[in-house]
Amino acid sequence: MIGAVHLLASGNIDISNHVTRKVFGLSIELDVVWATLIAAIIVITLGLLAARRATSGVPGKLQLFFETTVDQVNQLVESTVGPAGVKIVPLALALFLFILTANWLEVIPSSPHGATEYLPSPTANVNLTYAMALVVIVIVHAASIRARGLRGYVKHYFQPFPFFFPINVIEEITKPITLALRLFGNLFAGTLMLLLIAALLPVFIVPVADVAWKLFDMFIGFIQAFIFALLTIVYYGMATTVDAEH
């Protein structure tokens, strides 16, 4: 492990090997943008196909997959938030499917020596995870104001005692940060492991090690997609439950 750290520090492994272009002075990582669009197109296309082929009779495989996923999300929301959380189901479902697809893009083979990902997982880029976390938190706070009213929304920051105000504010600020960094950290670590495998192992072992790690990384990707969706549901439930003043 120490040798790997020294190898990274020496600059022999480039952890930011992206196709970058400058747009209005901003550095845009084009491969991450492409990967994000591809993940979104895959989810939207599958959703449209499932809706087009939906039938009240024997469902096809795609319809069965979506029905099962929606049913599981509904059960999760009902057990976590209750019937009032039905409004968050579409967002939680969309986030889960998009993040899962984005995470699994890493399954696509990398370059022969494993040094470059042809289609990197966009969720391994902190900008995307911050953007998704920001969208979630804005929706959650808007729902909280709608459920509690502006006065009740402000009041909950002073619960259960007024001197808890700074702690409650810090808690709300850290929610999107931890939501984003948890997903980013796990996916970035997977990318980093592929680079370490390519740098530290003999060339003839790298393909086998890459396949083994990517299979494990798929499981991690599924767990992280589930956790992001689950936390979205939990935050929504906490924000809209008027009785739970804490």
Report the predicted TM-score, pTM, of the whole model to 2 decimal places. Answer: 0.80
Distance CA 47, CA 89 (A): 15
Distance CA 110, CA 45 (A): 25
CB distance 31 to 18 below 8 Å: yes
3-state class of 22 per DSSP? Answer: strand
- Note down pLDDT in tens along the chain; length 246 residues: 444 444 444 444 444 556 666 667 777 777 788 889 999 999 999 889 888 887 777 778 888 888 888 888 888 888 877 777 788 888 999 999 999 999 888 777 655 544 456 677 888 888 899 999 999 999 999 998 988 888 888 888 888 788 888 898 898 899 999 999 888 888 777 667 766 766 676 766 766 776 777 778 788 889 999 999 989 998 988 888 765 444
Quote the tokens at residue 186.
């796990």
